[in-house]
């Protein structure tokens, strides 16, 4: 039997032979995919073509060359839309450097062109191919940092100073892209300020603030007028803190800080812990990015940083630019009103999602459900049939809401909450059909990991502690402690449950996980053994 032949490596042309384009040329040549180069500076293109043994040919001939399957667009951003659209119309797969375009409508047009042509559209958000960031992203998705609270990113250097675009557009796309992926949603509003020191109309330094529907906040500081180089992303969650510092050696690029905040006598007290180095496989991110593009062409798989992801980043960039010009916060709710914008969101055709709703990536919304305005649903949630949410309801990540549940204004679900079928949240204590009492709605916060059984009722104005369990049919009429097991009408505590939902015996040891607990000051606390 003859050995199976390996699939041919797709041929790629690189358009743009400048500072960054040269790196693309080097990597595609190393991967055996480089077929041609082109640049407005024909002498520069000819020199690189000679160095790597390929042709230097103009764009029209690249578009017409059937041996070239894909095009990498590394020309100046102002040319991205024209070059990328010409290549897509010619049936080429396109890898375009950031930003995808300078106008959101052009980005959307490129998405449509790629979809209609059945071609790959990939955007150069390089950090999505950095092993350290990919490891950090998986840590966040696995819940190792708990619920995210705030993030900040510094991308600073002395040069390269540009005159075509400001520091926001030159540096911040990478940071915005990483932050959107980590949080899993689009900001609700954006604010940015810039300093113009070398040129009257080009900002050399910008700071951008992002506020997210789930309460997360982010801060991005970029500058090409800084005394030293720094590329650092700090991620703070309620379960841990992590730092991705690309200026460090590979064994120190990603650090986990398992600090804790403990409440002593009603006041927060930090319990510091030593940083833990997180193992990261060493590899050149751009090489991985170029290989990913070739794999997408060969296998027909969607790229990690596709047109939709790039358009979301561009919307934030545009809002930040507008904010710099007006000095005001810029709302993103109109940009986020399309519920299909995050990747992987499933909305059944019978469900209805109003404008101004924020839905995180991976969430599924099923039959006959209605999500009302300004409600915010985190990522990887499952919303069952005939559910009503809102208006102005906030739901965390990885929540499961079973059939026939209504979440009214004032209800807030933290991450990992389970609402059983037909459980009930009230919104006022003494309702009358003929008396308007919308101003009397009471807040009902539900803590992380809580479980509410089928047909249980939670009377408004009461809080449910983290990881508590409300038995089926119970009626909650007062605040519930964390980890408390509540049954009956009215609900009474009869014991404790572990993080894993197991009822604890007298030894207070979880039979599923082996976690050990103790009761202090009337509350359950986990016993943490320091290594």
**Residue 41: both structure tokens together:** 């500076």
For residues 135 and 108, membership in a common domain is answered with no
Let me know if residue 243 belongs to a domain.
yes
Whether 413 and 390 have beta carbons less than 8 Å apart is answered as: no
| pLDDT tens readout for residues 418-465 | 999 999 999 888 888 888 777 778 899 999 999 999 999 999 999 999
Cβ-proximal residues to 89 (8 Å cutoff; 6+ apart), any chain = 113, 117
Whether 310 and 100 have beta carbons less than 8 Å apart is answered as: yes
- pLDDT at site 362: 87
For residues 318 and 190, membership in a common domain is answered with yes
Section 263-290 average pLDDT: 84
Let me know if residue 320 belongs to a domain.
yes
Sign of the Cα torsion 230, 20, 316, 70 reads: negative
Let me know if residue 40 belongs to a domain.
yes
Give SS3 for 52. helix
Section 332-350 average pLDDT: 61
pLDDT exceeds 60 at position 407: yes
What percent of the chain is predicted at pLDDT more than 70? 94
For residues 79 and 173, membership in a common domain is answered with no
Let me know if residue 39 belongs to a domain.
yes
- pLDDT at site 349: 79
For residues 37 and 153, membership in a common domain is answered with no
**Residue 18: both structure tokens together:** 């400048």
Question: Using CA atoms, how far apart are residues 369 and 395, in angstroms rounded to an integer?
Answer: 15
For residues 187 and 55, membership in a common domain is answered with no
Let me know if residue 85 belongs to a domain.
yes
For residues 157 and 214, membership in a common domain is answered with yes
Section 226-250 average pLDDT: 93
Q: Shortest CA distance to 353 belongs to which of 252, 342, 242? A: 342
Determine phi and psi for 94, rounding to 5 degrees.
-130, 130
Domain of 248: which CATH number? 3.30.360.10
Whether 474 and 484 have beta carbons less than 8 Å apart is answered as: no
Section 180-203 average pLDDT: 89
For residues 64 and 160, membership in a common domain is answered with no
For residues 167 and 267, membership in a common domain is answered with yes
How many CB atoms neighbour CB 508 within 10 A? 17
Residue 180 falls in which region: left (phi positive, over 0), alpha (psi -120 to 50) or beta: alpha
Let me know if residue 239 belongs to a domain.
yes
- pLDDT at site 266: 63
For residues 270 and 153, membership in a common domain is answered with yes
Section 387-403 average pLDDT: 94
Domain end, chosen from 69, 88, 119, is at: 119
For residues 187 and 89, membership in a common domain is answered with no
HSE-CB of 105 using CA atoms within 13 angstroms: 0
| pLDDT tens readout for residues 131-171 | 999 999 999 988 889 889 999 999 999 877 777 789 999 99
For residues 140 and 242, membership in a common domain is answered with yes
Q: Average pLDDT over the chain, rounded to whole?
A: 90
Residue 75 falls in which region: left (phi positive, over 0), alpha (psi -120 to 50) or beta: beta
Task: Mark 436-465 as b/e (b = at least 16 C-beta within 10 Å).
Answer: eeeeebbebbbbbbbbbbbbbbbbbbbbbb
Domain end, chosen from 331, 360, 388, is at: 331
- pLDDT at site 227: 92
| pLDDT tens readout for residues 51-68 | 999 999 999 999 999 999
Domain end, chosen from 93, 119, 145, is at: 119
Let me know if residue 510 belongs to a domain.
no
Let me know if residue 168 belongs to a domain.
yes
For residues 48 and 192, membership in a common domain is answered with no
* Residue span of the structural domain in which 140 resides: 128-283+314-331
Section 383-393 average pLDDT: 93
The total number of structural domains in the chain stands at: 2
Q: How confident is the model at residue 5 (pLDDT cuts 50, 70, 90)?
A: low
| Alpha helix ranges (H) inside 142-241 | 167-183
- pLDDT at site 141: 86
- pLDDT at site 8: 79
Domain of 40: which CATH number? 3.40.50.720
Q: Among 23-27, 215-219, 250-254, 526-530, which stretch is predicted with the lowest mean pLDDT?
A: 526-530
- pLDDT at site 223: 94
Section 326-352 average pLDDT: 69
């Amino acid at each position: 039997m003859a050995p199976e032949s390996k699939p041919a490596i797709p041929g790629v042309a690189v358009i743009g032979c400048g500072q960054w384009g040269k790196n693309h040329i080097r990597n595609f040549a190393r991967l055996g995919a480089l077929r041609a180069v082109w640049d407005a500076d024909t002498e520069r293109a000819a020199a690189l073509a000679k160095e790597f043994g390929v042709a230097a040919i103009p764009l029209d001939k690249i578009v017409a060359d059937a041996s070239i399957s894909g095009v990498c667009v590394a020309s100046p951003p102002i040319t991205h839309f024209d070059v990328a659209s010409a290549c897509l119309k010619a049936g080429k797969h396109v890898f375009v450097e950031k930003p995808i375009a300078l106008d959101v409508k052009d980005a959307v047009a490129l998405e449509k062109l790629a979809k209609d042509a059945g071609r790959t559209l990939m955007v150069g958000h390089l950090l999505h191919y950095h092993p350290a960031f990919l490891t950090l992203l998986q840590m966040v998705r696995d819940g190792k940092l708990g619920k995210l609270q705030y993030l900040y990113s510094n991308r600073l250097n002395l040069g390269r100073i540009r005159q075509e675009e400001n520091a926001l557009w030159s540096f911040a796309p990478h940071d915005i892209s990483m932050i959107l992926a980590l949080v899993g949603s689009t900001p609700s509003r954006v604010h940015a300020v810039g300093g113009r020191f070398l040129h009257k109309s080009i900002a050399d330094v910008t700071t951008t603030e992002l506020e997210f529907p789930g309460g997360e906040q982010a801060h991005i500081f970029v500058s090409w007028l800084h005394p030293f180089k720094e590329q650092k992303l700090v991620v703070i969650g309620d379960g841990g803190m992590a730092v991705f510092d690309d200026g460090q050696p590979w064994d120190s690029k990603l650090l986990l800080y398992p600090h804790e905040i403990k409440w002593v006598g009603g006041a927060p007290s930090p319990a510091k812990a030593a940083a833990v180095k997180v193992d990261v496989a060493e590899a050149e991110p751009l090489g991985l990015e170029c290989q990913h593009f070739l794999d997408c062409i060969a296998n027909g798989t969607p790229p990690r940083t596709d047109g939709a992801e790039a358009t979301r980043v561009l919307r934030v960039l545009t809002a930040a630019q507008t904010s710099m010009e007006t000095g005001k916060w810029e709302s993103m709710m109109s940009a986020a009103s399309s519920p299909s914008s995050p990747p992987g969101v499933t909305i059944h055709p019978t469900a209805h999602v109003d404008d101004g709703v924020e839905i995180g990536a991976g969430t599924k919304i099923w039959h006959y459900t209605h999500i009302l305005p300004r409600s915010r649903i985190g990522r990887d949630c499952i919303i069952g049939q005939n559910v009503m949410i809102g208006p102005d309801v906030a739901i965390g990540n990885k929540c499961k809401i079973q059939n026939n549940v209504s979440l009214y204004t004032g209800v807030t679900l933290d991450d990992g909450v389970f609402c059983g079928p037909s459980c009930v949240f009230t919104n006022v204590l003494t309702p009358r059909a003929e008396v308007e009492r919308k101003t009397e709605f009471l807040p009902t916060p539900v803590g992380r990991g809580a479980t509410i059984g089928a047909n249980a009722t939670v009377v408004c104005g009461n809080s449910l502690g983290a990881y508590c369990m409300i038995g089926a049919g119970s009626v909650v009429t007062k605040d519930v402690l964390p980890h408390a097991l509540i049954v009956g009408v009215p609900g009474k505590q009869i014991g404790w449950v572990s993080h894993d939902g197991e009822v604890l015996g007298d030894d207070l040891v979880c039979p599923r996980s082996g976690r050990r607990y103790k009761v202090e000051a009337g509350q359950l606390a986990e016993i943490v053994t320091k290594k």
